[in-house]
Amino acid sequence: MMSTPAHEAGRRSREAAMAGDKETWLSVFAHDAVIEDPIGPSHFDPEGTGHRGKEAIAKFYDMAIAPSKLVFNFEKTYQCGDEEANVGHIVIESSGYRVVAEGVFTYRVNAQGKIVALRAYWELDKAAASATKI
């Protein structure tokens, strides 16, 4: 598979999230980026409008990533222009539980290779139903 700017930015984002490296993770995003993870209303984003800008993205990191151990398992990747879509699942361990979020995870980058949109299509109810005590 060809390594595109979107692929590289997504890879750096995932590696930093798994390593718990907030500063490196934040550096992958453009100043006006948006994260929708998951898309629509959730306990992280009750209004379902996304986390826009570096300050909101940093708060999302503190709420969702910092207290978790993450493993990304993508089975298929589709690269189109400045975007990439990954099909697979993320294993999330937090608060004594393991949850599997199956879905489609997309990254869009700007001309500088910074992520301007990270969107995660996964169903909150299905992920919650997968929870097992660890």
Per-residue model confidence (pLDDT) at position 129: 96
**Domain span at 48:** 5-133
Number of folded domains that form the chain = 1
Does the pLDDT at position 3 exceed 90? no
**pTM summary value:** 0.94
Contacts with 68 (C-beta within 8 Å, 6 or more apart), sequence order: 92, 93, 94
Does the pLDDT at position 2 exceed 80? no
pLDDT in tens, 98-126: 999 999 999 999 999 999 999 999 999 99
3-class SS of residue 74: strand
Average confidence (pLDDT) over 34-63 = 96
Q: Give the CATH number of the domain where residue 128 resides.
A: 3.10.450.50
Give the C-alpha separation, 22 to 27, whole Å.
Answer: 9
